[in-house]
Amino acid sequence: MKDSTLQSLHQATLLVASELDLDKVLLQIVEAARSLADARYAALGVSNKDGYLESFIHSGMQTGLVPLIGHLPRGRGLLGAIINEKRTIRIPKISDDPRSYGLPEHHPPMESFLGVPIMVAGEVLGNLYLTEKMEAEEFSDDDALLIEMLAANAAAAIQNARLFQQVEQLAVLEERTRIGMDLHDGVIQAVYGVGLSVETAKMVLPDNASESDELLGLALGQLDDAIHDIRNYIMDLRPRRFGGNLQQGIEQLVREFEANMLVPIELHYDVSASLTAAFGRTIFLTAQEALANVARHAKASRVWVSVVEEDQTLTLIIRDDGVGFDPATRHNRIGHGLVNMQQRAREIAGRFELKSQPDAGTTLVVTLPLT
């Protein structure tokens, strides 16, 4: 192995180790691997503790070609063999290997293959693989050794970035929990105290003080609204995480909404397809955003949530019987929630629809293709 090659590996590992943002770490690993092994394509898939594909980074693929392929790799064939066998796989022609599962439609042709597991303490974090060796029919033993050394450093860098990410998340969650407790123990109690004082004043006023009575009643209503709003903010501050199971995540959202808002929700869930973590997270976050909007704006007495799979399509419907609004005039007053939901749907080729009118409730429909 040439000294210049070892120097390139050394520089690549230093660059990877210096970064703490996980997405940037993964991209640097993929770019370094493609450069070191002189490959046309490189990719890295990282799984979470539940086995779902948490991140997938690729290099060398044309941007416009990626959406045509449709779905991310599903861990079958050679990619699954890397993880299951926990060893490097190097072959000159993918289609000749009995473990090959084939390439999806629109995928560029690939022949030579080099795949390496990324491991920490015997646990496979993911796989790093390269295809189409440039200027040669297959990857060499030196290529395999280089990528194995890079993968060993990559495993440490991924773990380091994950730990840093967890520390940041814990700090944010602790601060949000503290704010929620302060709101509950301080602001809400103070508002309650003001409300009791107004109630007492109303009781001791003379019977003929109708104007004062009306004003005090208005003040009480405003206090009730303030308490309602603060409860909404507390609910938003409580941390929610998507664990990979969409049904459990939706059921958790429904339970929390009913407990905090004292508004019943009728839930209908009928999905049998196996969903990727990214797909399920999109549905979960959309439902969370929609229910937060219902809590803040709808003044509903009942809510309906439906998640249904039919004809290779998953549909999320959230409907309430609240005050409704005119989407043409109130769009900008709802904040970024609707924009976020629309963007999430578009990112996975979905369709977002919102129907509402004053005093007739609101219905949100998100339709996403499963293929």
Say if residue 269's pLDDT is above 70: yes
pLDDT grade for 333, boundaries at 50, 70 and 90:
very low
Would the CATH topology of 3-166 be identical to that of 242-371?
Answer: no
pTM recorded for the entire structure = 0.43
Please, are residues 110 and 132 in contact by the beta-carbon 8 Å criterion?
Answer: yes
Domain range list for the chain: 3-166, 242-371
pLDDT tens figures, 222-250: 777 666 666 666 555 554 567 678 898 89
Return phi, psi of residue 132, to 5°: 60, 75
Mean pLDDT rounded to a whole number for the chain: 76
Q: Check residue 121 and give its pLDDT.
A: 73
Q: Check residue 28 and give its pLDDT.
A: 79
Please, are residues 86 and 127 in contact by the beta-carbon 8 Å criterion?
Answer: no
Query: Is 301 exposed, middle or buried (CB count within 10 Å of its CB: 0-12, 13-18, 19+)?
Result: exposed
Q: Check residue 180 and give its pLDDT.
A: 63
Q: Check residue 18 and give its pLDDT.
A: 57
pLDDT grade for 145, boundaries at 50, 70 and 90:
confident
Q: Which CATH class is domain 242-371?
A: alpha beta
Say if residue 171's pLDDT is above 70: no
Q: Check residue 54 and give its pLDDT.
A: 63
C-alpha radius of gyration, the chain, whole number = 27
User: What residues contact residue 106 under an 8 Å CB cut-off, 6+ apart?
Assistant: 65, 68, 69, 70
Average pLDDT over residues 99-126: 78
Q: How many CB atoms lie within 10 A of CB 257?
A: 22
pLDDT grade for 202, boundaries at 50, 70 and 90:
low
% of the chain residues with pLDDT over 90: 10
> What element of type H or E holds 114?
strand 113-120
Residues in a beta bridge with 91: 113
Say if residue 331's pLDDT is above 60: no
Lowest-pLDDT range of 25-29, 262-266, 300-304, 364-368? 25-29
Please, are residues 275 and 327 in contact by the beta-carbon 8 Å criterion?
Answer: no
How far apart are the C-alpha atoms of 284 and 299, rounded to whole Å?
22
DSSP string of 265-299, one letter each residue: EEEEEE--SPPPHHHHHHHHHHHHHHHHHIIIII-
Quote the tokens at residue 5.
Answer: 């090659």
Of 94-108, 128-142, 305-319, where does the model show the most confidence? 305-319
Count of residues in the chain: 371
Lowest-pLDDT range of 40-49, 181-190, 292-301, 303-312? 181-190
How far apart are the C-alpha atoms of 50 and 324, rounded to whole Å?
40
Q: Check residue 365 and give its pLDDT.
A: 93
CATH superfamily of 3-166: GAF domain (3.30.450.40)
